[in-house]
Amino acid sequence: MTSPKRSLPRSRLAAPPKDRDRSAAPDGLVGDYEGEDSQFFVRMFKHEFDPQAPWRRTQDLSDMAIVLTSEGWGTGDGKLGELLMNDFLLTLAERREKPKYVVLVHSAVKLAAATGQALDSLKKLEAIGVRVLLNKTSLAHYKLEREVRVGEVATMFDIVNWLCKVAKVLSL
């Protein structure tokens, strides 16, 4: 079964040149193109490629804060969530571009107190200049004030002020 061919006004169609391969775009063709014996419709536009287009550039993390709200990433299997968070922090620590802040709230503050790969990644981030901020209220809730191994304790007032100073906030 063949699909119906879409028809367009003739002013928008260009006949293929007789001496050219029909799969190649004729010089200067902008708009629609349809071959004579074809069941296909092809739309081609002449466009200059811009390698600096916003969708092609890597995101500048230096003016970004990352907010972690739990010790795992996602919902469902807790072990998988912990593995994903460990992988996320490890990958973030290995990237050339770094965020300005990593903020830990709610159960994410446990990452700054427990031993493991997440703690090692947070220490590495802090060593290269990323400010690791731990929410004071969350630390008190989990009774972790004396067990902090990385980062600086911050009030919610301070955290909000720092988040308002960056261009983008990524929350996980």
Q: 81: number of CA atoms within 13 Å, CB side?
A: 15
Written as six digits, the tokens of 138 are 């969350």
Tell me what percent of the chain is helix, strand and coil, each rounded to the nearest 5.
Answer: 30, 15, 50
pLDDT tier at 115, thresholds 50, 70, 90: confident
Q: Whose structure tokens read 């968070």?
A: 85
Q: Return phi, psi of residue 153, to 5°.
A: -75, 135
Contact indicator for 123, 150 with CB cutoff of 8 Å: yes
What is the amino acid identity at position 31? G
> What whole-number distance in Å separates Cα of residue 15 and Cα of residue 33?
7
Going by the DSSP 8-state scheme, the letter that residue 42 receives in this structure is E
Is the dihedral angle over the CA atoms 45, 50, 53, 58 positive or is it negative?
positive
Question: In angstroms, what CA-CA distances link 43 with 11, 25, 137?
Answer: 14, 10, 58
pLDDT tier at 11, thresholds 50, 70, 90: very low
Going from the N-terminus, what domains does the chain have, and what CATH number goes with each? 12-50 (no CATH), 61-171 (3.40.1260.10)
Using one digit for the tens of pLDDT, what is the confidence trace for 58-111? 566 689 999 999 999 998 898 999 999 999 999 999 998 899 999 999 999 999
Helix 117-127 to helix 78-94 angle (10° resolution) is 20
The pLDDT of residue 21 is above 50: no
- Please compute the mean of the pLDDT values over residues 32-53 and round it to a whole number: 59
Spatial neighbors of 123 by CB under 8 A, at least 6 apart, are 149, 150
